[in-house]
Amino acid sequence: MSQKLPLATLIELAQSKADEATRRLGQLQSAHNSAAEKLELLHNYRQEYLDQLETHLQDGVSAAHLSNFRQFISTLDTAIEQQRALTTQADARLVHGRSDWQHTRCRLNSFDTLAERAHQQEAAVENKRTQRDSDEHTARQFYLRSTSTSD
């Protein structure tokens, strides 16, 4: 019983850590998705703006307006690069989070395996005890029958 208690405590702690790693992984996945969506949005916005510029160029545009378009596209390019860096960082954190989650799940599974082995050993000991008691009872019954018939 003294071995059972520490193992149960270890399993509870490992389960708690696995739950926390799962929660953290969900947050990291959400952050990664959000960063990727923002990057995609910026790319789409840049393409739309380039399409507008092309339409305006066909209709004719002033030099000041063209300069504003180019400056805005440059600003978008900077924002895209910054968002790409954030997305890359979020991806790296997600990979680390997955590794951490896998490690905690593996640890929990190891403790579960140990607990199952201990349970199987206890069951085997109990089965042997039951078999021994049954054998003793049968032997006693046999002895009692043999002594009562010989009298």
Domain limits, the chain? 4-150
Whether the predicted pLDDT of 32 surpasses 90: yes
pLDDT recorded at residue 150 = 61
Tell me: the pLDDT tens digits for 46-91? 999 999 888 888 888 888 888 999 999 999 999 999 999 999 999 9
- Cα separation of 94 and 24, whole Å? 9
pLDDT recorded at residue 151 = 56
pLDDT recorded at residue 102 = 95
- Sequence letter at residue 151: D
Q: Which class is 4-150 in CATH? A: mainly alpha
Whether the predicted pLDDT of 134 surpasses 60: yes
pLDDT recorded at residue 141 = 87
pLDDT recorded at residue 114 = 87
Contact (Cβ atoms closer than 8 angstroms) between residue 111 and residue 10: yes
Give the dihedral sign, CA 94/97/102/108.
negative
pLDDT recorded at residue 144 = 82
Mean pLDDT of 124-142: 90
- Sequence letter at residue 110: S
